[in-house]
Amino acid sequence: MGDTATIKNLVVTLAYSFGWVGIILVSITNNNDRFLLFSRYFWLLTLISALISIYVNVTSIEAMWALLPVVIFLTPWYGLRYFISSFIGLSSITALFSLFVIVTLIIRVRSNKCA
């Protein structure tokens, strides 16, 4: 992850993020609660991985135990390095996007139960 991101990396990141948004919208439309529950946990793990990455980059500690989740959940966001040079910035944007998705899904579930 040390090389500069290319347009190809950016396209993959955009396809990944728009793909997730599309799948979640279809799941909301079809009331696929199982997939929405899976999505919440997936994005929670992505959020935790991003927060761990921020903490590790700020404190410069070693966290080899966190390598696998960070690789799994943060690698698809590498294309953002086309615009952002720091790992802290990349992890921050990933954390904010994850938090947005989680909050949106929680609001959707609560509004669905009230209706």
> pLDDT tens digits, residue range 31-85?
888 999 999 999 999 999 999 999 999 998 988 998 999 999 999 999 999 999 8
Please list the alpha-helical segments (H only) found in 6-86: 7-29, 33-59, 67-74
Closest C-alpha among 75, 76, 95, 93 to residue 84: 93
Q: For position 2, what pLDDT does the model report?
A: 65
- The burial class, CB within 10 Å (0-12 / 13-18 / 19+), for 85 is exposed
Q: For position 74, what pLDDT does the model report?
A: 93
Q: For position 31, what pLDDT does the model report?
A: 87
pTM for this structure?
0.89
Q: For position 78, what pLDDT does the model report?
A: 93
How large is the average pLDDT for residues 82-109? 92
Q: Where are the domains of the chain?
A: 7-114
Alpha-carbon separation of residue 2 from 11, 13, 35, 94 (angstroms): 18, 17, 34, 18
Q: For position 102, what pLDDT does the model report?
A: 95
Fill in the DSSP letter of residue 5.
Answer: P
Q: Rounded to whole angstroms, how far apart are CA atoms 36 and 32?
A: 6
In this model, does residue 91 exceed pLDDT 60?
yes
Q: For position 85, what pLDDT does the model report?
A: 85
